[in-house]
Structure 1
Amino acid sequence: MKTQGPKSLLALIETCASLNQLKQIHAKTIISGLSYNHFILTQIANSFLFPQSLNYATRILVRTQEPSIFIYNSMIKAYSQSETPFVALSMYNNMRVRENAVGDQFTYPFVLKACASELAVEKGREVHGVVVRIGFDSDRFLCSSLLNFYAVCGKIESARRVFDEFKAKDVVFWNAMIMGYARNGMALEACEVFREIVKVGEVAPNEGAVLALISACTVSKNLKLGREIHGYVRKEVTFGLSVKLGAAMVDLYAKCGCLDYAKRVFEGMPEKNSVVWNSLISGYSLNGFSREAIGLFRDMCFWDVKPDRYTISGLLSACAQTGAINLGNWVRKFAEKNGLWDEFIGTSLVDLYAKCGSIEAAREVFDQMDKKTVATWNTILSGYASNGQAGSAIELFDEMRKSGAIPDSITFLSILHACAHAGLVEKGKQYFDSMVKNDKITPKVEHYGCMVDLLGRAGLLKEARELIERMDIEPNVIVWGSLFNACSIHGDIEVGEWAADHIFNLEAMDGGSYVLLANMYAAAGRFDRVKAVRQAMVDASFCKLPGCSMIEIGDVVHEFLVADKTHPKSEEIYSVLDELSDKLKTATGSMRLPALAGEHLESS
C-alpha cells in the first residue's frame, strides 16, 4: 500500500467493505503515527459490530481518548445481546467512572437488558435510580425495559409499580406486563391484564403476549383460562392461529389431558411444522396412548414432515410408559438410520430400557454416550433403583461424583429410592445428610417420602413418625402413604390409624387406603374395625380402582383390567389362568391370607 495522507485514510475508513479491510487500514494509521481510533471504532459500530469483532473493538476502546456516547452505547448494546452480558455492565461502569458520562436514553435499556440476563437485581435498582434522577423515567422504551428487568428477575411487584406509574402505555408496555406475569407462573394475574387490555380496546395483545399467556396456562394446568385465550384468538386477533400459536394450544390441551381438543386444533391448522406434530405426539405419550403416538408419527412421515430429536424423545417416552420395547427398538433404528442422535435421545433410550426391565441394555447405551447430562445420570440411577440393583446404583453414584457431574435433587431421590428398596438404612441416612450438609440441597417432600419409606420398610416406625413430625414442610399423601403402608406390613395399628387419618384428610376419595386399613385390621384379628371400615366405604360409595396390566406381543401392546373380558381371546386367557390356578393349589395347598380379598370389598 502506497503512502496515504490523513484525508485519504479517513475516506478509506468510511468506505471500507469488510472488517479485514478495516483492520488493514487501522494498521496503516498506527504505522503513520495517526490516532484514528475514534473513527475506526465509529465505523465498527456502524457496520461491523458483531460477536467476532467485539474483542477487537474492546481493545481499541481501551486505547481511545474520550470515546463518544454513541460508541459506548453501541458496545453496551452488543455485549448485552452476547453470551457475556456482564461485560456490558463493566462497560457502563467504565463510562460512568472513567469518562464521568451520564449516558442518554439509548444507554439504559441495554444496561437493564444486561442486568436482566445476569439477574443483577441490585445493579438494576441502582440504574433505575439514575434514570429517575436524570429525568428519563418518562421515556416509554426505557420504562418498558425497566418493567422487563424486574419481571425477569422475579421482582413482579416492582414491575407492576413501574407499569401502574407509567401513564402513556402502548402495546409493548401492556404486552411486557402480561409476559412478566406469565414468566413468573402467575396465569391469573396475566389474564387479568389481558382482560383489561381487551376492555380498554385502544391496543391489542401481540402474538408474543398471547403465547406467554398460553404458556402460563399450560404450566399451571389452568384449562379454563386456556380456553378463554383460545376463544379470543379464534374471534379477535388479526394475526390468526399461526403455527406457533397452534403448537402452543395443542400443547396446552394435551398436557391438560384434553386430547380431543388438542387433535381438533391440530386438524384445523392449515400449516403444520415439526413443532406442531411433536406437541401432539408428546401429548399422546404423556397420557399413555403410545399406539396413537406411533400412528401419528407414521402420519408425520407420510406427509414428509421431517422428525427431529424432540419427535424421537416423545416416541421413546411413549414406548417406555407402556413397556413397548420392540416398538422402542424400531424407533431407535429409525433415529440411527436418519442421523437423529444426541444426549437427549440417548437419555430417553436409557429410560425406555430401564422401565422395560432391560437394565443391561440401558447401561450399554449409557456407557456408549460421549456426552451425559445430569438427567442422563439420574435416569440410569433411577433404573437401577427400580430394578432392585441398589449396589450398582451406589457404585454409579460414586462414579458420577468422580466424573465432575453435580448431583441435583432428583439424583438423591433416585439413590434414596435404591436404598429404600434394598433396606440400606444407614446408607440412606448418610446420603440424606450429605444432600443437606454437603450439597446444600433443601429436601423436598419427595425426599422425606423416600426416607419414611426407607425407615418404614425396616420396621423403624417410631423413627419414621419422628421424622414426619420434624419436617419443615407439610407432608403430602405420598409421605403419609409410605408410613401407612409400612404400618400395614408390620402390623402397627396405632401409628397406622394416625397416618390413615391424615391420608383421608388430604385425599378423601382414596378408596385404596381404606382397603389397606381394612386389611391391616383383618391381619390383627380386629374384625369389628374391619366391618366399620367396610361400612364407611359403602356409605361413601368408595371402591378400589381396578388394577391394570400391559404386555407387548410382537409390536402390539395388550392392556388388561381386573375381570376384563373385552380382549378377543379372553376365553382362552381365562382357561389358561384357571389351569395355572389349579396347578398352584395342587402344588402349595389352598391358603387363606389374613387379609380381605379385593373383590369382596368391591362387591360390598
Structure 2
Amino acid sequence: MGSSLELRISNLLPKCKFKQLKQIHAQIMTTSLYQNIQLLSKFLRRSTEFGNMEYPSLVFSQLCPQANTEIMLWNAMIRGFALNGSFEKCISLYDEMLLRGLKPHNFTYPYVIRSCSEMGWFWKGKQMHCHVVKTGFESNWSVANALFIMCIKKLDSCDPDSVNKGNLNGAHKIFEDMYVKPIESWNRLISGYVSICDVESARRLFDDMPERDVVSWNSMISGYIKVRKVDYARDLFERMPEKDVVSWTLMIGLYANAGDLVTARRFFEQIPCRNVVSWNSMISSYTHLGQFEEALDLYVQMQRENVVPDEYTFVSVLFACSQLGALEFGKSIHYMIKDWSQLGVILRTALIDMYAKCGDISRAFTLFIKIGMKDVFCWNVTVRSLAIHGRTEDAIKMYSFMQKVGLKPNDFTFTGVLFACSHGGLVEEGRRIFYSMEKDFGVNPKLEHYGCIIDLLSRNGQLEKALDVVEKMPYEPDIAIWGALLGGCRVRSNFKLAREVMDGATKLQATEPGVHVMLSNMYASVGQWTEAQILREKLEDDKITKIAGHSSVVYHVTNGSSEPQV
C-alpha cells in the first residue's frame, strides 16, 4: 500500500497544481510517508516551483528535527530560493546549513554560487570557490559552469578601463578544467577577451572551438573592429556560414568608423532583412560623420518602408535637424512621439537641443520645464542653450537651481555657465563660479574653462587679470585664448600687447585667420593702413584664407498638424 501510494505521488508531483500539492501534503503527513526523506524532498522541491517561497518555507519549518538534518531537503530549499530570485535567503540558508554541520555537494554549490553572482557578492563567491576546491567538486560540470559564469559577471561589473588579461585568467582556468564546454561558455570567454581588445587570445579560442554559432562569428568580428583590423573582420564576415542582422550591422559600423560611408551604405543595402537597429546604425553613421542631409533622407526612406523608429532613431535624426537648422523637420519628429511620459531623458534632451539650435528657445525651455526627472546632461544643454540665445540671467539661475535640486555640476555645466557669464559681461559672477569649480565641486578646470574666463576678462577690458590667468594656468594657450586676448587688446586699443599676442599665436603655426584679420582691422580702425595692409599680405603669403560663410539646406516636412504637443 505504502509503496504504491509513494509511486502514485511521485508520478503526480511533477505535473500537479498548487491545490493538488496541498492535498498531497495532507496525505504525506497522515501516513508513514512523512518519514520518507526522498519523497519529502521531491514534494518540497515541487512546492518551490509555483513562484512563491512562502508555502515551502512553512513546510520546511514544520519538518521533524531529524528531517532538518537531511541535505536533500536543504538543497530543495536552496534551489527554490535561487530560482525564485530570493538570492540573499539562498546564501543565508547555505550559511546556516554549514553551521549545522551539513556538507554541501554538487547539487548545492551551483545555486549558491549563482546567488552570489546575482547579488554581486563576489567576495562571498570567492569563499565559495575555496570551499568547492577543498571539497573536491571543482571538476563537476554544474559547479564549474556556475563558477565560470560568476567570473564573467564579475568582469562585466568592473570598470572597463580596469579590466585586463590578468582578470580573465581565473575564468580561463575554470574553463580549461571543464570537461564539457558548451558553446555559450566559449562565446562568453571570447567576448571577455574582445572586451579588453585581446583579439589574439580570442582568435585562439575561436579557432579551437569544435563548433561555432553566429554569436561566435559576430564576437570575433566585433573584436577585429575594436582594434581596427578591417581586413580580418571582412575576411571573417565573408567566411560566415550564416549571417544575421547583427553581422551586417557590424560591417556597417566597421566602414562607418573608418570614414567609408559609401561601403557602409553598400552593406546596408545588401541586408536581406533590415530591422530598426540596422537603420539606426546607418543613420547614426551619417550624423557622426557630419552628413546630416543624408541622415534625414535615410530616415524618410525608413518611414516609406514602414519601419517603426525607436528612441535611438529619433535622437540621431533630431541631432541632424539641430545641425541643419531644420526646425520643421524636427517638429515633425516631435509630432510623431505619441506618449511623452514614456520618453527617456536622452530623447527629451535631444528635443530641447534641437529647438534651441533651430532658434526656438522658448519651446526648448518649455519642454525642459515639463520634463519630470532630469539628469545633469539635460540641465547642461538647457544652460548652454539659454546662454547662446543671450538669456544670461536665466542660464545663471538654472545653474543655481540645479544645485538646489541636488545635482552636482560637472565640467560641461561650467563650460555653459562661464560662456553665459562671458557673453553677458558678468565679470564678478564669472570669476566666482570659475574659482568655485575646484574648491567647491572638485572639478579641475580644463583649457576651455580657462578660455571662457580669459574671454570674459578680455571682453570687459581687464587685460591684466586675463594675462595673469594665462600665466598661471597649467596649459599652453590655444588659438582661442590668443584670440580672446587680442579681442581685449582691440577694446583697449593696446597695439603693443596685441603684437605680443600675435607673436604667441604665430608660434602655434595656426592657420586660423580670425586673429590675423582682427589685428588688421584694429590697425585699419585707427587709420594705420600700412600695418593693416602688411598683415593682409601676410595672410596671402602664408596661404591663410578665411572660409566664406554658407548656409545649409533646411528640410520642411508637413505632417498634417500645425504644432506638436509639448
In the other structure, the counterpart of 1:92 is 126
Q: After TM superposition, give the deviation of residue 276 of structure 1 in Å.
A: 1.5
In the other structure, the counterpart of 1:52 is 85
Residue identity in the other structure for 1:75: V
Moved more, 204-213 or 308-317: 204-213
In the other structure, the counterpart of 1:39 is 72
Please give the TM-score of this superposition, normalised by the length of structure 2.
0.75
Q: After TM superposition, give the deviation of residue 297 of structure 1 in Å.
A: 1.6
1:232 to 2:235 alignment? yes
In the other structure, the counterpart of 1:333 is 335
Contact 2:45–2:77 (CA under 8 A) maintained in structure 1:
no
Cα distance in 1 for residues equivalent to 2:505 and 2:242: 47
Contact 1:273–1:305 (CA under 8 A) maintained in structure 2:
yes
Q: Secondary structure at 1:472's aligned position in 2?
A: coil
In the other structure, the counterpart of 1:179 is 195
Contact 1:176–1:209 (CA under 8 A) maintained in structure 2:
no
1:320 to 2:322 alignment? yes
1:5 to 2:39 alignment? no
Instruction: Specify whether residues 116 and 143 from structure 1 end up closer, same or farther in structure 2 by C-alpha distance, changes over 3 A only.
Output: farther
In the other structure, the counterpart of 1:588 is none
Q: After TM superposition, give the deviation of residue 332 of structure 1 in Å.
A: 0.5
Instruction: Specify whether residues 356 and 37 from structure 1 end up closer, same or farther in structure 2 by C-alpha distance, changes over 3 A only.
Output: farther
In the other structure, the counterpart of 1:515 is 517
In the other structure, the counterpart of 1:116 is 155
Residue identity in the other structure for 1:322: L
After TM superposition, the structure 1 = structure 2 runs for residues 9-158 of structure 1, keeping only pairs within 5 Å, are 9-13=40-44, 18-20=49-51, 24-33=55-64, 34-35=67-68, 38-43=71-76, 49-50=82-83, 52-65=85-98, 66=102, 68=104, 70=106, 71-80=108-117, 82=118, 84-85=119-120, 87-93=121-127, 104=138, 106=144, 109=148, 112-113=151-152, 115-117=154-156, 119=158, 139=173, 141=175
After TM superposition, the structure 1 = structure 2 runs for residues 370-449 of structure 1, keeping only pairs within 5 Å, are 370-449=372-451
Contact 2:521–2:532 (CA under 8 A) maintained in structure 1:
yes
- Deviation sequence 1:522-559 (CA, Å, 0-9, x none): 34554444343333332333321111235858559xxx
Please give the TM-score of this superposition, normalised by the length of structure 1.
0.71
- Deviation sequence 1:445-470 (CA, Å, 0-9, x none): 22222222222212222322332232
1:352 to 2:354 alignment? yes
Residue identity in the other structure for 2:40: L
CA RMSD in angstroms comes to 4.1
In the other structure, the counterpart of 1:210 is 221
Q: After TM superposition, give the deviation of residue 400 of structure 1 in Å.
A: 0.9
Gaps of 5+ in 2: 1-24, 179-185, 559-566
Cα distance in 2 for residues equivalent to 1:40 and 1:254: 58
The structure whose Rg is larger is 2
Cα distance in 1 for residues equivalent to 2:258 and 2:526: 43
Number of aligned pairs?
A: 501
Q: After TM superposition, give the deviation of residue 309 of structure 1 in Å.
A: 0.6
Cα distance in 1 for residues equivalent to 2:462 and 2:175: 62
Q: Secondary structure at 2:470's aligned position in 1?
A: helix
Residue identity in the other structure for 1:454: L
After TM superposition, the structure 1 = structure 2 runs for residues 198-597 of structure 1, keeping only pairs within 5 Å, are 206-214=217-225, 216=226, 225=228, 227-229=230-232, 231-235=234-238, 237-238=239-240, 242-254=244-256, 257-336=259-338, 341-506=343-508, 508-523=510-525, 525-550=527-552, 552=554, 555=557
Moved more, 463-472 or 366-375: 463-472
Instruction: Specify whether residues 232 and 286 from structure 1 end up closer, same or farther in structure 2 by C-alpha distance, changes over 3 A only.
Output: same
Q: Secondary structure at 2:408's aligned position in 1?
A: coil
Q: After TM superposition, give the deviation of residue 67 of structure 1 in Å.
A: 5.2
Residue identity in the other structure for 1:180: I
- Deviation sequence 1:73-93 (CA, Å, 0-9, x none): 53233432x3x41x2324535
Cα distance in 1 for residues equivalent to 2:321 and 2:477: 33
Moved more, 420-429 or 93-102: 93-102
Cα distance in 2 for residues equivalent to 1:40 and 1:494: 91
Contact 1:255–1:286 (CA under 8 A) maintained in structure 2:
no
Gaps of 5+ in 1: 145-169, 182-189, 218-224, 557-604
Q: Secondary structure at 2:338's aligned position in 1?
A: helix
Between the two structures, name the one with larger relative contact order (CA 8 Å, sep ≥ 6): 2
In the other structure, the counterpart of 1:595 is none
